[in-house]
A and B are shown apart, each in its own frame.
Chain A
């Protein structure tokens, strides 16, 4: 990024001149991203809907990307800008790794993303915000970690679970009730799809599992073996088993009262 800013500054998202605009610019927005840690790793998942105002702009958008071998980033906010940011972020991690011969630490990656979000502040003020969720496996500490951001680039580490995007309030509530310390990988992947289901249930901008079109949430798992995206079969399996249970219990699993 430093090289790029010297060499071809116009390539950097933050360095573009913005025309003065009035009102909110209409552009597709991505919605809900959730993440949860489990002993041995972290799961990051996102729904598939992009909205533009009250219109569904895209039904099968992909909002969760691998950042490198041991981390992933899920994006909420203006889709076009977010995808470009992720692309630059991926490039930067890879570039660092190749030039230095070693990977950045997870903290280092999280800080880098923070700077990139901050450089987008001008656009964010015009309503084109990008608010990602960053999750990775910390090779030094042997555990999965989650970082959340605000529009100004403020970074905070989240423990156990986190969500971002318009449906995040509902997803967080669901995860709060379902989370346990001793989740297995399978349970953690089920948990995130449950949370996305609850988000889609109450937030119009979040898409639930689309059985007719076979569009299911993207679920990724990062462990010490690296990044892995669940195949369509695997995530459809999870979504279908949840749907089946919800036919009897539409509000999902009940937590104990006391």
Chain B
């Protein structure tokens, strides 16, 4: 009879975390930023059909990096949770905080239960408020913790590098075009520091726009609107990239 090896709980958890992190790192990163009129989601996504971002409820959006089938599962669960809440009580009673808590519990349970493998996903749940102060962004790593983020957040393989790039440059009250440009710049920096071009067709962009007259603030930005936004900053990029070149010399 074979005796099972003793594995300390610390080791088991570390192994599981390692496993999940590696899975997430294989996926492409994405960035979520606050701008003057809302929150913008930017990610590189070659697929038109499999979305990384989606609407959960009126003011709440969802972004995920990692394994598609796993986060799709969580997304549908979130939509159900939100719709059921909104129908039972009122549309205003559905909040990002509540949703993030549900996600945290689900992820946490799956992470620490022995039988299942941990989910290889990292989520962002964002809610746009009436004013920029009311905006909420929560990041949910694979282990079920919740991190309350402000300004900007990145998840996925290269998240740390992209996150620090965004943190340094993100300002409150940026316009949509500025925020979008910053996010694309951050995403197009590779691990080794080289930059590559991400064409507009490979970008997935969505916003939670508080100025939208409809109750549902989520909107995908595609096609001409996206290229127009990218062009707008194309004109101003020249000047700013010159500034940036100076900035990087100083660093």
Contacts and interface: CB of A to CB of B under 8 A. Distances in A.
A8 B76 CA distance: 17
Nearest to A8: B84
Contact of B87 (A11, A98, A99, A101): A11
B87 A88 contact: yes
A99 B54 CA distance: 9
A53 to B, nearest CB: 31
Contact of A91 (B55, B56, B83, B216): B83
B76 A4 contact: no
Main secondary structure of the interface of A (DSSP, over half): helix
A4 B54 contact: no
B55 A98 contact: yes
B110 interface: no
B13 interface: no
Contacts of B55: 98
A4 B84 contact: yes
Interface string B84-112: 10111000000000000000000000000
B51 interface: yes
B177 interface: no
B230 interface: no
A99 B76 contact: yes
A94 interface: yes
A4 B87 CA distance: 10
B84 A99 contact: no
A5 to B, nearest CB: 12
B51 A95 contact: no
Interface in A1-59: 3-4, 7-8, 11
A101 B51 contact: yes
Given A3-B80, A94-B216, A98-B83, 6 more contacts: A8-B84, A88-B87, A91-B83, A95-B79, A95-B80, A98-B55
14 contacts: A3-B80, A3-B84, A4-B87, A8-B84, A11-B87, A94-B216, A95-B80, A95-B83, A98-B54, A98-B56, A98-B79, A98-B83, A99-B79, A101-B54
Interface of A: 3-4, 7-8, 11, 87-88, 91, 94-95, 98-99, 101
